[in-house]
Chain A
């Protein structure tokens, strides 16, 4: 067996694919090495929910047979990846990160996994998550069947949530990419905290079929990778029509970097406070420097004002209405009491008291939010803001413990999710040795352009190539 050099675990999709095609190593060898690594190192960060070694090796051998016959399927062929454990994988436990569902098994694969399987990507693991994607409002990083997601950059810090395992696994080179999910922040936050490039697609672009539903109108699946280009390559394969998903946008996505508009034709809106003194003090220099890099790309930067709405209250009420219905039987049965986080248990129970008028009012105000963001994007092509205002929380402390004061609006994550808009989080530096991310929020189906600007940013910086200081 060829030895797999350590750099391979942090290689891009294109680099790995090229090495497989040139037979520098076989897919079997690569998959075995990644499986060994994730089984050995994954538990260090509570990132691994379940290794899928046996099926992965079998699939890898199929890929090797194909490559031997020069039967190529695209950039993801032979690439090892993981999925957040809310995605169904046939005949193995899909736990949703929650003790009451620890032995739950489905007899089908989620749609995105079927798509990735068709192009020869190798699923090697289910990755850990916050229980039930944190829908009941969790207070601690330990709100998970597998324990707190720990950050490969500093294991006293949280890897973020609710896609905790995907965040840690990609950052630590345990998988080349992962599929996470976001209802309000669950792709972008672990991406920012772990130094990844994460893409939350437009609502409906990627099928939710086979994924645990938390909120029918807010849930999205998306790639968590180490570069904007990799996000484009993954989205190219997972996006598209699925009639089994009632929320499917019935749109396809083709990753077309050569058709992206020139930077000089792009206007990026921003709120000055975000890049002055709005963020946590330790993070401000990195955000200012990132702003200067974006400016240097040749885009037009324009001061904007984010539409004024109570984004947090709206997201919370909509999730309460929808998750309360989705999990109604679970809550009423009392099984909810088996969850790890008492705050989340209470939050789920309280959902059953929500009057329908409150949910509907929130959904009506949401129409105003959509219209306001539509108007915002008449005057700019995308919005730039810090993904989170500071680095990762300490894993042992409550997530709502008071942090340094901040002045920024903080509405880009909930507002963007309410309006169903795509966003790309890019690593942009460090604060106290911990990664930071900035986000580009775009109009619906603007992913190619977001990725193009993200790629340009990453050609000017190397934050996305940095690796956490891991023990051997």
Chain B
């Protein structure tokens, strides 16, 4: 199982959960396994990760790995964080 840890603002889209678990072998598969209202807030309708959303695997931003294609192993944890943006 893959753990996906959510920031407070996204928890209403996961039934209030701080962390959800999905079966996946890549970040793309992990996102595909999320409930649609949560998934849509992380990726746009073409499947691209939203510009100001950061997803970390350990200390690495997946943009610095293989993006949505980044492979995952059982027990991995993804951390979703909003970037520092806006005013």
Partners in one complex: no
Contacts from A to B (Cβ < 8 Å): none
